[in-house]
């Protein structure tokens, strides 16, 4: 998969590395902005209190 992605990207190796860094940052931004908050709404997390008697 990574080799196929490397072959698809245009330019010399430094342009490919730059594009992959930008692509990884965009994926992480999308995960943190939309996917993780959406998943959090489906996960039932109980209210836990530590140290209460």
Specify the pTM. Answer: 0.70
Among the listed residues 24, 26, 20, 25, the one whose alpha carbon sits nearest the alpha carbon of residue 8: 20
pLDDT of residue 41: 83
| Domain that includes residue 17, residue range | 2-41
Asked if residue 34 is part of any domain, the answer here is: yes
Asked if residue 25 is part of any domain, the answer here is: yes
Per-residue confidence in pLDDT tens, the chain, 53 aa = 788 888 999 999 999 999 999 999 999 999 999 999 998 888 877 777 777 65
Asked if residue 14 is part of any domain, the answer here is: yes
In whole angstroms, what is the distance from residue 53 CA to residue 36 CA? 33
pLDDT of residue 29: 97
pLDDT of residue 17: 94
Say how many domains are in the chain: 1
Asked if residue 47 is part of any domain, the answer here is: no
* In contact, 9 and 20? CB cutoff 8 Å: yes
- Output the DSSP codes for 4-31: HHHHHS-SSHHHHHHHHHHHHHHHHHHI
Asked if residue 10 is part of any domain, the answer here is: yes
């Amino acid at each position: 998969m990574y080799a196929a992605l490397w072959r698809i990207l245009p330019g010399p190796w430094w342009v490919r590395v730059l594009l992959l860094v930008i692509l990884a940052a965009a994926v992480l931004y999308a995960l943190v902005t939309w996917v993780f908050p959406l998943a959090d709404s489906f996960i039932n997390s109980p209210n836990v209190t530590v140290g209460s008697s």
